[in-house]
Amino acid sequence: MSKLKFSISMSTDGYVAGPNQSTENPLGEGGEELHEWAFVTRTFREMQGREGGETGLDDEHAKYWSQGTGATIMGRNMFGPIRGSWGDESWNGWWGDDPPYHTPVFVLTHHAREPLEMQGGTTFHFVTGGIEEALERAREAAGDRDVSIGGGAQAIQQYLRAGLVDEMVVHVVPRLLGRGERLFENLDGGPTGYECVEFVSSPRVAHFRFARKV
């Protein structure tokens, strides 16, 4: 069976997004700072159709979320700032006409919406049946490849509470946000049953990889 994994950047004080998400601040106020280490890598620049960028340790870890990934799951807040009904359904996500996923993406929501086919192989499917239905559909779409949780914190927490996450990579950056969305809240003490199987660091960020204990 394919693995369920996630890769996420986190501040030193545990936040993965800042407060007050808006169209001007998709990651909340200060949240973009958590990803500055990735912005300079070749992987990130290629995702934007640009040349150049740094290679090396951070670049290798910037690739993790998409390596071997056949489908992605995300929370509704990750897809956009709209709350409640979808209205005229004009919102197509933060990423423009060609999102970076290039696989089927399953969006957790309480409000039904028809699938949204984008350029580059990304199709957003809106799942109203909960996290297990989303995972079942994602695994079917992924085949023998892995399923990645794209975020945000609340979606990841739901899968951690259910004991469904097989592997997680946390990129800890030397920033203190002080408020926002914390990754390991609402977990009755934190995730259990994992061990750190890799730890490497560059001057910009420390990369931790945790795997479920066998």
Q: Does residue 23 carry a pLDDT above 90?
A: no
Average pLDDT over residues 64-88: 91
Q: For the chain, list the domains and their CATH numbers.
A: 4-16+27-85+97-212 (3.40.430.10)
Cβ atoms of 116 and 124 within 8 Å: the answer is: yes
| CA nearest to 206, candidates 184, 181, 177, 175 | 175
Encoding tokens for residue 137?
């559909």
pLDDT at 73: 98
Q: Which are the contacts of 46, defined by CB distance < 8 A and separation ≥ 6? A: 53
Average pLDDT over residues 112-129: 96
pLDDT at 174: 97
Alpha carbon distance 6, 72 (integer Å): 9
pLDDT in tens, 32-70: 999 999 999 999 888 777 889 999 999 999 988 788 999
Q: Does residue 123 carry a pLDDT above 80?
A: yes
Average pLDDT over residues 161-183: 96
Mean pLDDT of the chain: 94
